A = this chain, B = another copy of it.
Amino acid sequence: ARPRVGYYYTGKTGGTLFNEHMKKLTVQEFQSIPVVINDSASVYDAICTMFLEDVGTLFVVKQDSILIGIVSRKDLLRASMGKQDLESVPVSIIMTRMPNITTCKQEDPILEVAHKLISKQIDGVPVVRERTVNDQTVHEVIGRITKTNITKAFVHLAKDELHD
Protein backbone atom coordinates (compact mmCIF):
# COMPACT_ATOMS: atom_id res chain seq x y z
CA ALA A 1 0.00 0.00 0.00
CA ARG A 2 1.17 3.51 -0.74
CA PRO A 3 1.70 5.77 2.26
CA ARG A 4 -1.14 8.23 2.67
CA VAL A 5 1.07 11.34 2.80
CA GLY A 6 1.18 11.23 -0.97
CA TYR A 7 4.86 10.38 -1.31
CA TYR A 8 6.10 6.92 -2.04
CA TYR A 9 9.39 5.24 -2.68
CA THR A 10 10.32 5.08 -6.36
CA GLY A 11 13.55 3.18 -5.78
CA LYS A 12 15.47 6.36 -6.53
CA THR A 13 17.29 8.32 -3.85
CA GLY A 14 17.70 12.08 -4.02
CA GLY A 15 21.26 11.44 -5.15
CA THR A 16 20.25 9.27 -8.07
CA LEU A 17 17.59 11.74 -9.17
CA PHE A 18 20.07 14.55 -8.95
CA ASN A 19 22.64 12.65 -10.95
CA GLU A 20 20.12 12.05 -13.71
CA HIS A 21 19.28 15.74 -13.66
CA MET A 22 22.98 16.63 -13.94
CA LYS A 23 23.40 14.36 -16.96
CA LYS A 24 20.57 16.15 -18.72
CA LEU A 25 22.54 19.40 -18.69
CA THR A 26 24.03 19.40 -22.16
CA VAL A 27 26.69 21.39 -23.97
CA GLN A 28 24.03 23.11 -26.06
CA GLU A 29 22.51 24.75 -22.98
CA PHE A 30 25.76 26.30 -21.75
CA GLN A 31 27.99 26.81 -24.79
CA SER A 32 29.37 30.21 -25.80
CA ILE A 33 29.96 31.66 -29.25
CA PRO A 34 33.28 30.42 -30.71
CA VAL A 35 35.98 32.96 -31.45
CA VAL A 36 37.97 31.97 -34.52
CA ILE A 37 40.88 33.27 -36.58
CA ASN A 38 42.08 32.31 -40.02
CA ASP A 39 45.15 30.08 -40.30
CA SER A 40 46.97 32.79 -42.25
CA ALA A 41 46.79 35.23 -39.28
CA SER A 42 49.98 36.17 -37.41
CA VAL A 43 50.72 35.53 -33.74
CA TYR A 44 50.32 39.29 -33.25
CA ASP A 45 46.85 39.21 -34.86
CA ALA A 46 45.94 36.32 -32.56
CA ILE A 47 46.98 38.25 -29.43
CA CYS A 48 44.94 41.27 -30.58
CA THR A 49 41.88 39.09 -31.31
CA MET A 50 42.20 37.48 -27.89
CA PHE A 51 42.10 40.91 -26.22
CA LEU A 52 39.34 42.35 -28.40
CA GLU A 53 37.14 39.31 -27.84
CA ASP A 54 38.28 38.78 -24.24
CA VAL A 55 38.70 35.01 -24.52
CA GLY A 56 41.48 32.65 -23.43
CA THR A 57 41.34 30.29 -26.40
CA LEU A 58 41.10 30.87 -30.16
CA PHE A 59 40.08 28.30 -32.72
CA VAL A 60 42.09 28.37 -35.94
CA VAL A 61 39.97 27.65 -39.01
CA LYS A 62 40.17 27.52 -42.77
CA GLN A 63 37.21 28.44 -45.03
CA ASP A 64 33.71 27.40 -43.88
CA SER A 65 34.64 27.30 -40.17
CA ILE A 66 36.56 24.04 -40.54
CA LEU A 67 38.67 23.49 -37.41
CA ILE A 68 42.38 22.97 -38.05
CA GLY A 69 43.96 24.16 -34.80
CA ILE A 70 43.64 25.77 -31.41
CA VAL A 71 45.76 28.37 -29.64
CA SER A 72 45.66 29.31 -25.97
CA ARG A 73 46.70 32.44 -24.04
CA LYS A 74 49.56 30.34 -22.73
CA ASP A 75 50.78 29.48 -26.25
CA LEU A 76 50.74 33.16 -27.19
CA LEU A 77 52.50 34.27 -24.02
CA ARG A 78 55.21 31.66 -24.66
CA ALA A 79 55.64 32.93 -28.23
CA SER A 80 55.88 36.53 -27.01
CA MET A 81 58.76 35.64 -24.70
CA GLY A 82 60.89 34.68 -27.70
CA LYS A 83 62.91 37.01 -29.85
CA GLN A 84 60.82 36.64 -33.01
CA ASP A 85 58.81 39.39 -34.63
CA LEU A 86 55.25 38.48 -33.64
CA GLU A 87 53.81 40.03 -36.78
CA SER A 88 55.79 37.77 -39.09
CA VAL A 89 55.15 34.43 -37.32
CA PRO A 90 51.96 32.74 -38.55
CA VAL A 91 49.69 31.39 -35.82
CA SER A 92 49.71 28.00 -37.57
CA ILE A 93 53.35 27.54 -36.42
CA ILE A 94 52.48 27.64 -32.71
CA MET A 95 48.96 26.19 -32.67
CA THR A 96 47.97 22.67 -31.58
CA ARG A 97 46.73 20.84 -34.67
CA MET A 98 43.89 18.46 -35.45
CA PRO A 99 43.62 15.58 -34.62
CA ASN A 100 45.42 16.43 -31.35
CA ILE A 101 42.51 18.60 -30.19
CA THR A 102 39.88 17.59 -27.67
CA THR A 103 36.41 18.49 -28.94
CA CYS A 104 32.81 17.96 -27.87
CA LYS A 105 29.36 17.84 -29.48
CA GLN A 106 26.23 19.85 -28.70
CA GLU A 107 24.38 16.84 -27.32
CA ASP A 108 27.18 15.77 -24.91
CA PRO A 109 26.47 16.10 -21.17
CA ILE A 110 28.31 19.12 -19.76
CA LEU A 111 29.59 16.77 -17.05
CA GLU A 112 31.49 14.78 -19.67
CA VAL A 113 33.21 17.96 -20.90
CA ALA A 114 34.09 18.93 -17.30
CA HIS A 115 35.82 15.54 -16.97
CA LYS A 116 37.80 16.15 -20.19
CA LEU A 117 38.94 19.63 -19.07
CA ILE A 118 40.25 18.21 -15.78
CA SER A 119 41.85 15.02 -17.11
CA LYS A 120 43.55 16.76 -20.05
CA GLN A 121 44.40 19.92 -18.09
CA ILE A 122 42.98 22.28 -20.70
CA ASP A 123 40.90 25.45 -20.34
CA GLY A 124 38.37 24.93 -23.10
CA VAL A 125 37.19 22.82 -26.01
CA PRO A 126 35.51 23.65 -29.30
CA VAL A 127 31.97 22.40 -29.90
CA VAL A 128 32.01 20.78 -33.35
CA ARG A 129 29.66 19.26 -35.89
CA GLU A 130 31.00 16.59 -38.23
CA ARG A 131 30.58 17.12 -41.94
CA THR A 132 31.67 15.15 -44.95
CA VAL A 133 33.50 17.13 -47.61
CA ASN A 134 34.95 15.26 -50.62
CA ASP A 135 34.64 11.94 -48.76
CA GLN A 136 36.60 13.35 -45.81
CA THR A 137 35.24 13.96 -42.33
CA VAL A 138 35.81 17.55 -41.24
CA HIS A 139 34.82 19.37 -38.07
CA GLU A 140 32.86 22.59 -38.28
CA VAL A 141 33.24 24.82 -35.19
CA ILE A 142 29.85 25.87 -33.81
CA GLY A 143 30.61 26.81 -30.18
CA ARG A 144 32.98 26.64 -27.24
CA ILE A 145 32.92 25.33 -23.70
CA THR A 146 35.44 26.64 -21.15
CA LYS A 147 35.80 26.38 -17.40
CA THR A 148 33.73 29.58 -17.28
CA ASN A 149 30.77 27.71 -18.78
CA ILE A 150 31.28 24.87 -16.28
CA THR A 151 31.36 27.40 -13.42
CA LYS A 152 28.09 28.86 -14.76
CA ALA A 153 26.58 25.36 -14.88
CA PHE A 154 27.65 24.86 -11.25
CA VAL A 155 25.93 28.08 -10.18
CA HIS A 156 22.90 27.20 -12.32
CA LEU A 157 22.57 23.82 -10.58
CA ALA A 158 22.26 25.47 -7.19
CA LYS A 159 19.68 27.98 -8.44
CA ASP A 160 17.77 25.34 -10.32
CA GLU A 161 17.43 23.09 -7.30
CA LEU A 162 16.33 25.95 -5.07
CA HIS A 163 13.18 26.42 -7.09
CA ASP A 164 11.93 22.88 -7.55
Contacts and interface: CB of A to CB of B under 8 A. Distances in A.
Nearest to A117: B151
A133 interface: no
Contacts of A50: 77
A118 B148 contact: yes
A118 to B, nearest CB: 6
Interface in A46-104: 47, 50-51, 56, 73-74, 76-78, 80-81
A157 B22 contact: yes
A128 interface: no
Contacts of A162: 15, 19
Contacts of A1: 4
Nearest to A159: B19
B14 A154 contact: no
A114 interface: yes
Would you call the interface of chain A mostly helix, strand, loop, or mixed? helix
Contacts of A137: none
Contacts of A115: 155
B73 A77 contact: yes
A112 to B, nearest CB: 10
B164 A22 contact: no
B5 A9 contact: yes
21 contacts: A2-B3, A3-B5, A3-B8, A5-B9, A15-B160, A15-B164, A47-B77, A50-B77, A51-B74, A56-B74, A73-B73, A73-B77, A80-B81, A114-B154, A114-B155, A117-B148, A117-B151, A147-B147, A151-B154, A153-B154, A157-B157
